[in-house]
């Protein structure tokens, strides 16, 4: 189950980034929605799994909105230059889908969760930039990303404990 969850997350991430870079949002967002539906279908407690996804899909884009507002990042394929695009919201939903499954082990290691966010968050954005879905506008963007993800990763894991749709 954990391997499938990780694989679906990676697939969804790539599809969302590809859709943004290629201006093919509708098919990419349909694919991500299907991945999230598969995740919810597998959850033992569907309401909790849904609430976690919903909560992270609000919290995460607020962080990305700050990055946009401060001029750290520009997103491709967005309807408004002043609001984060839907595909960013979808990516946060995919991230939420990993918290109680493939990333559940991180709940017990707060420092590793901080380091995971500090390093992994910026790496994901660098990869998205290489795939032409975003543009990092300043060298300070990586610092802001690292610090933000270093806080959001353990915070998301704490929230995931409360909304664990996969507990036994």
Q: What is the pLDDT of residues 80-134, one digit of tens each?
A: 788 999 999 999 999 999 999 999 999 999 999 999 999 999 999 999 999 999 9
45, 81 contact by CB (below 8 A): no
Confidence (pLDDT) at 76: 82
**Which range, of 12-16, 76-80, 98-102, averages the lowest pLDDT?**
76-80
**Token pair for 152:** 């959001």
- Is 134 strand, coil or helix? strand
Q: What is the pLDDT of residues 135-166, one digit of tens each?
A: 999 999 999 999 999 999 999 999 999 999 99
Planar angle of CA 118, 124, 130, nearest 5 degrees: 135
32, 103 contact by CB (below 8 A): no
Statement: the pTM of the whole predicted model exceeds 0.85: yes
């Amino acid at each position: 189950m954990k391997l499938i969850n990780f694989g679906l997350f990676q697939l969804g991430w790539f599809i969302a980034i590809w859709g943004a870079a290629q201006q093919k949002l509708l098919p990419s967002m349909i694919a991500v929605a299907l991945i999230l539906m598969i995740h919810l279908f597998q959850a033992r407690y569907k309401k909790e799994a849904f609430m976690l996804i919903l909560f992270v899909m609000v919290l995460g884009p607020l962080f990305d909105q700050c990055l946009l507002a401060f001029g750290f990042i520009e997103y491709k394929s967005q309807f408004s230059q002043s609001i984060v695009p839907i595909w960013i919201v979808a990516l946060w939903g995919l991230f939420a889908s990993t918290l109680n499954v493939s990333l559940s082990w991180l709940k017990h290691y707060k420092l590793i969760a901080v380091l995971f966010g500090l390093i992994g968050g910026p790496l994901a954005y660098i990869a998205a930039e290489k795939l032409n879905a975003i543009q990092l506008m300043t060298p300070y963007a990586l610092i802001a990303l690292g610090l933000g993800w270093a806080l959001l990763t353990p915070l998301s894991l704490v929230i995931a404990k409360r909304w664990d749709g996969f507990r036994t």
